[in-house]
Chains A and B, each alone.
Chain A
Amino acid sequence: MPHYEPWSEERARAVIEEFSHLEGPLMPMLHAVQETFGHVPDAVVPMLADLLNVSRAEVHGVVTFYHDFRHEPAGRHVLKLCRAEACQAAGGDALADHAEHKLGCKLGETTADGRVTVEPIYCLGLCATAPSAMLDGRIVARLTERRLDALIAEAQS
């Protein structure tokens, strides 16, 4: 399970500045912020805008453009199910329905107890061993209902 730090402006500044020597550093900075705090807090936006000499709107635009960046922290575990064509061809639709039913929430949502966020992902590149999923960064292929149940149980524990 990933461990994130509580918000600290000082820590955020340190994380960001580590990348300030790069050309076009905004994306690596945002990834680092999210890795540290589990999401991209609003308070980071003016800090980045200041440092990179761009408007807050521009930074906000970037943060909201990309699917990866979270505005709010996710649940304790994140289960991503591949919903792209190769996985659909291999029975991914039924597995996604099963996961939604079992977790009691839709793809893109977090369970009421805050334990599991379940999300669609479009292609893990495991298309020849479809369907596939990722639990907290761990990839699983040749997914069956039984293996999915095991992943869900692991995420809920």
Chain B
Amino acid sequence: MSTIRIYVPKDACAIACGADEVVAAIEAAALSRRQPVEIVRNGSRGMLWLEPLVEVVTAEGRIGYGPVSEEDVEGLFEAGFLTGAAHALRIGKPEEHPFMAKQTRLTFARCGIVDPASLADYRAHGGYRGLERALQLGPEAIIEEVKKSGLRGRGGAGFPTAIKWKTVADAKGDRKYIVCNADEGDSGTFADRMIMEGDPFELIEGMTIAGIAVGATKGYVYTRSEYPHAIWAMEKAIEVARAHGMLGMNISGSPYSFDLEVRMGAGAYVCGEETALLDSLEGKRGTVRAKPPLPAHKGLFQKPTVINNVLSLTAVPHILADGGEFYANFGMGRSRGTMPIQIAGNIRFGGLFETAFGITLGELVNDIGGGTFTGKPVKAAQVGGPLGAYVPTWQFDLPFDYEAFAAKDALIGHGGIVVFDEDANLAKMARFAMEFCSVESCGKCTPCRIGSTRGVELMDRIIAGERVEANLATLTDLCQTMKLGSLCALGGFTPYPVLSAMNHFPEEFGAPPRRLEAAE
């Protein structure tokens, strides 16, 4: 009997849903049938409600079954899933599934398809084409290409990547650094984790290109202790890349040298803020630095530093491989290219949906996400992490675009959408946002450190029905102070969830309902 290849994701989501047990069950069932199988642990395709999504390589291609539990395995074998036979869990070819077919995948094109630990597989699927072209172009032309793409930092602030790179390239320094902000602390976001687990070479390639562009020889991937699987996958891939001459001295035989190291945070949310992250990397408390100086001038160890998010850096290999214009052709307005959007929370079909900017929030939540898994009506979606606004259903025509969101006092952030059903209490969520800020504040600036604690007290009084109108007025004022006076996004953006909840659902705060916006 010939060996049959089976893919079972090693993505943390799949593991948390029992993928390791499924692998053991498949191995046992195959052994008892004397059927040789080769199990590849791929990343996730991003259809997370189907995890573990087991794929079998058949004559007609890869056929998926999911969600598979260990109890399902025997039945799958009996039904003949090794030849792609019918079964209740069969979904057909994953790439033809409507959730996948509607996407435009660039960053996530390989995720779930390749073996994340195999450099050969990476190359076979177009990997390192971007670096090859970058090596031909040289530093200046690389930055020009990134500029043409219109790429804006995907970490939340949306700052043009090429400008950041140019600043570092022009800065004087005996050494420079590339720092990847993989401190994905926002609830509802998991794209960084997925790519590190599912296609780590893409991040390595993006960082290498960045290093060549600005003249940096060392890079750090700073990620979270909550992501042990991502750390393991990154470290493994770095080792493989180094062994194949794709990291270290004279990359791919070129005159450029670049090496990478993974560093782990220690459970402090504020370290996702770029300057706090740099302090943490240096071995200090993760407190926010006042800007200027910009990290581009004085960053890690006071040296010129590019600090970019995982999704910004993983967009780079595609921009170089296919050209900046190709990338810029996707999107709307000043939001160019694609955005890996993460649909989560109380959602029926949650997962990773990469698409060009411009899709509406309603399409994402209702059409693609299928509404809530509790089956109750959607009440609101929090977009952009714990510091993002609660967007009510009557604003679901909002297109995914940095400027369109900003115009509605909302933000895209890292592209996470957390869906809530009608049972959610928005006053309670607003209190949670304030409390989270007070616990996670680095303490450096007063509006964030003290404002958030006062905010919790105010919320408690409002929830208890104490002098509601006066306390809401004070809360609004406090939010303005935090917004304008905080050093970084933690204090500066906490007002977004609080004020949006208050403005859209005033009745939950004990104030008279106000639904004027519905008439817009």
Query: Chain A: residues with CB nearer than 8 A to chain B?
Result: 22-28, 30-31, 52, 58, 61-62, 65-69, 84-90, 121-130, 132, 137, 139-142
B365 at the interface (CB under 8 A from A): no
Is residue B48 within 8 Å, beta carbon to beta carbon, of the partner chain? yes
| CA distance in complex: A67, B420 (Å) | 28
Q: Any chain A CB within 8 A of the CB of B16?
A: yes
Q: How far, in Å, is B75 (CB) from chain A's closest CB?
A: 20
Q: Quick one: which of B17, B188, B419 contacts A129, CB cutoff 8 A?
A: B17
B382 CB–A CB distance under 8 Å: yes
CA distance A52 to B283 in the complex (A): 10
A66 neighbours in B (Cβ, 8 Å): 265-268, 286
Q: How many residues of B contact A (CB 8 A)?
A: 61
Note all chain A residues with C-beta closer than 8 A to B135. Answer: none
Question: Are B266 and A30 in contact, with the CB atoms below 8 A?
Answer: yes
Q: Within the complex, what minimum Cβ distance (angstroms) separates B117 from chain A?
A: 20
Cβ A89 vs Cβ B48 within 8 A: no
A128-B49 contact, Cβ under 8 Å, with A66-B267, A86-B418: yes
The 8 Å CB contact of B187, one of A61, A85, A141, is A85
Verify A142–B17 contact, CB threshold 8 A: yes
> Could you show 18 A-B contacts with beta carbons less than 8 Å apart?
A24-B283, A27-B280, A27-B281, A30-B266, A31-B264, A58-B284, A67-B268, A68-B225, A84-B386, A85-B188, A85-B382, A121-B267, A124-B226, A127-B189, A127-B418, A128-B49, A128-B352, A129-B13
Quick check: B193 and A125 within 8 Å, CB to CB? Answer: yes
**For residue B345, which residues in chain A have a CB less than 8 angstroms away from its CB?**
85-86, 89-90, 127, 130
CA distance A140 to B21 in the complex (A): 12
Task: Kindly state the separation between the CA atoms of A65 and B424 in the bound complex, as whole angstroms.
Answer: 32
B347-385 vs A, CB cutoff 8 Å, 1 = contact: the mask equals 100111000000000000000000001000000001000
For residue B18, give the distance in angstroms from its CB to the closest CB of chain A. Answer: 9
* Chain A, Cβ-Cβ closest to B442: A65
- B16 with A129: CB separation less than 8 A: yes
Chain A residues near B189 (CB-CB < 8 A): 123, 125, 127
* Chain A residue at minimal CB-CB distance from B350: A128
Contacts of A121 in B (CB 8 A): 226, 267
Apart from A52-B283, A122-B185, list 19 A-B contacts with CB within 8 A. Answer: A30-B266, A31-B264, A66-B268, A67-B268, A87-B187, A89-B420, A123-B185, A123-B186, A124-B226, A125-B184, A127-B345, A128-B190, A128-B352, A129-B48, A130-B345, A137-B228, A139-B12, A140-B16, A141-B17
Q: With A84-B386, A132-B16, A141-B16 known to touch, is A122 a contact of B436 (CB < 8 Å)?
A: yes
Residues in A neighbouring B419, C-beta threshold 8 A: 89
Q: Shortest distance in angstroms between B427's beta carbon and chain A's nearest beta carbon?
A: 14
Are the C-beta atoms of B49 and A129 separated by less than 8 Å? yes
Which chain A residues border B16 with CB–CB below 8 Å?
124, 126, 129, 132, 139-142
The answer, among B286, B347, B421, for a CB contact under 8 Å with A128, is B347
Please pick, from A24, A127, A137, A142, the residue contacting B416 in the complex, using a CB distance under 8 A: A127
Q: Write the nearest CB–CB distance from B112 to chain A, whole angstroms.
A: 14
B350–A127 touching, CB < 8 Å: yes
CA of A141 to CA of B49 in the docked complex: distance in angstroms? 11
CB closest residue in chain A, given B385: A85
A141 adjacent to B268 (CB under 8 Å): no
Q: Which residue on chain B has the smallest CB distance to residue A27?
A: B283
Q: Is B432 a contact of A88 with CB atoms below 8 Å?
A: yes
Chain B hits for A126, CB < 8 A:
12-13, 16, 190
Residue from the list A24, A58, A90, A137 in contact with B346, Cβ < 8 A: A90
Q: Is the CB of A85 within 8 A of B418?
A: yes
Q: Name the A residues within 8 Å of B227 (CB-CB).
A: 124-125
Alpha-carbon separation in the docked complex, A101 to B225 (Å):
28
CA distance A125 to B310 in the complex (A): 14
